[in-house]
Amino acid sequence: MFVAFRAVAYATCFIGFLLIYLPARILSWAGIVHPGAMAWPQFTGMTIGTVGALAALWCVFTFVVKGKGTPAPFDPPRRLVIQGPYRFVRNPMYLGAALALAGAACFYKSVTLLIYGCIFLLVTHFFVIGYEEPTLRRTFGPDYERYCHRVRRWLPGVRAVF
For 95-149, the pLDDT digits (tens) are 999 999 999 999 999 999 999 999 999 999 999 999 999 999 999 999 999 999 9
Whether pTM exceeds 0.75: yes
Residue 22 burial (CB count, 10 A): 15
Write out 52-79 in H/E/C secondary structure: HHHHHHHHHHHHHHCCCCCCCCCCCCCC
Q: Counting Cβ atoms within 10 Å, is residue 36 exposed (0-12), middle (13-18) or buried (19+)?
A: exposed
Q: Identify the architecture of domain 2-150 in CATH.
A: Up-down Bundle (1.20)
In this prediction, residue 162 has a pLDDT band, given cuts at 50, 70 and 90, of: very low
11 alpha carbon, distance to own chain's centre = 10
Residues in the chain, how many?
A: 162
pLDDT tens for each residue of 72-107: 777 788 899 999 999 999 999 999 999 999 999 999
| Domain limits, the chain | 2-150
